[in-house]
């Protein structure tokens, strides 16, 4: 079977449909840590935003080491028992102010994001000054598994589900 050509537009569409990912960071000693996060994708698709608080491990780790990786699972509605497809991303993260215009705009575009922003605004009104966004500038190379490929296609050849795309191509 010929390999299906996966486009960046297809991957970006899959990224925008989801809002959950697993973010991996490492502390100053190099010990890895992972956390489930809610994210939003920038308009260009070159950055991902995560709302957090500065004292949490992921934010502290990013201050020490900005290199991160993310995995975005893409569940299947009909074949729910088949493991989800995944989008694997890497990039450089930074902690930015919670009032950042671009980050707030991205989070205001989806239901859960609006609720998270409102929750953090409420915390700020009660005096919490640790609220922040993470801005993750994504590397251009994106690896995927079973994105744009049917489960039936990979049932006899697991490698047929793996693809790599370059952002902007």
104: domain CATH number is: 2.30.110.10
Confidence of residue 106 (pLDDT cuts 50, 70, 90): very high
- Nearest alpha carbon to residue 167 among 48, 21, 22: 48
Structural domain contains residue 64: yes
- Nearest alpha carbon to residue 81 among 7, 155, 162: 155
Q: Do 34 and 23 touch, CB atoms closer than 8 A?
A: yes
| pTM assigned to the model | 0.91
Question: Alpha helix locations (H) across the chain?
Answer: 8-17, 57-64, 101-107, 111-125, 151-154
Structural domain contains residue 2: no
* Per-residue pLDDT at 1: 43
Give me 88's structure tokens. 């694997």
Confidence of residue 76 (pLDDT cuts 50, 70, 90): confident
Q: How many domains does the chain have?
A: 1
Structural domain contains residue 161: yes
* Per-residue pLDDT at 5: 79
**What's the pLDDT tens digit per position in 15-52?**
999 999 999 999 999 999 999 999 999 999 999 999 99
Residue 79 has pLDDT above 90, yes or no: no
Q: Note down the domain range covering 100.
A: 8-166
Structural domain contains residue 3: no
* Extended strands (E) in the chain: 20-26, 32-41, 47-53, 67-74, 85-97, 131-138, 141-145, 162-166
Burial (Cβ within 10 Å: 0-12, 13-18, ≥19) of residue 60:
middle
The pLDDT of 153-166, averaged and rounded, is 79
């Amino acid at each position: 079977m010929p390999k299906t050509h996966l486009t960046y537009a297809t991957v970006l569409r899959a990224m925008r449909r989801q809002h959950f990912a697993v973010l991996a960071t490492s502390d100053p000693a190099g010990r890895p840590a992972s956390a489930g996060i809610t994210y939003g994708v920038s308009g260009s698709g070159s950055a991902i935003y995560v709302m957090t608080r500065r004292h949490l491990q992921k934010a502290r780790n990013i201050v020490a080491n900005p290199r991160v990786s993310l995995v975005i699972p893409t569940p299947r509605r009909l074949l729910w028992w088949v493991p989800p497809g995944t989008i694997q991303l890497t990039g450089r993260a930074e902690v930015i102010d919670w009032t950042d215009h671009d980050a707030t705009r991205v989070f205001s575009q989806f239901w859960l994001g609006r609720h998270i922003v409102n929750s953090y605004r409420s915390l700020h009104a009660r005096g919490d000054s640790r609220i922040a966004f993470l801005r993750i500038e994504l590397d251009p190379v994106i690896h995927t598994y079973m994105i744009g490929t049917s489960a039936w296609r990979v049932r006899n050849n697991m490698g047929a589900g793996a693809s790599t795309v370059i952002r902007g191509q």
